[in-house]
Amino acid sequence: MANNKTGKALTLYMTAWQKRIMRDFMPSSSFRGKSYEAIDKMVIKPKKNKCLVSYLIPMVGIKKGDWLMYLTDEQMTMVGEFLKAKTPIPSINVKQEFLDEGIIAFR
């Protein structure tokens, strides 16, 4: 995976359909007492050796706590530039581990 070496975070404002994906696949305990409608952004702060990028759905499928956040065309460009990627990034891996470590946050 390409890596952001600045240590900075990227904030992506979420669309209505992305919020529905989040609602369907993120355990409600991860919302920290908020309604999913009140969450409007995803903050990404990559760490070395943690792969945020996914191109394919795993053979076992997606499930609560381990899923893909599909990106809009504009977000794909932003994430690609942020991570200095050489190929388009259509989705971000969202895992409970990433939420717990602050690599991904929903606010």
Tokens describing residue 98: 């990433």
Q: Which helix (H) or strand (E) holds 28?
A: none
Q: Tokens 């390409």 — which residue?
A: 2
Say how far apart CA 12 and CA 62 lie, in whole Å. Answer: 22
Reading the chain (107 residues) residue by residue, the pLDDT tens digits are: 445 555 799 999 999 999 999 999 888 777 778 888 899 999 999 988 777 876 556 656 667 788 889 999 999 999 999 999 998 899 998 988 899 999 999 99
Dihedral Cα 86, 42, 30, 32, nearest 10 deg: 160
- Asked if 43 contacts 105 with a C-beta cutoff of 8 angstroms, the reply is yes
Q: pTM here? A: 0.83
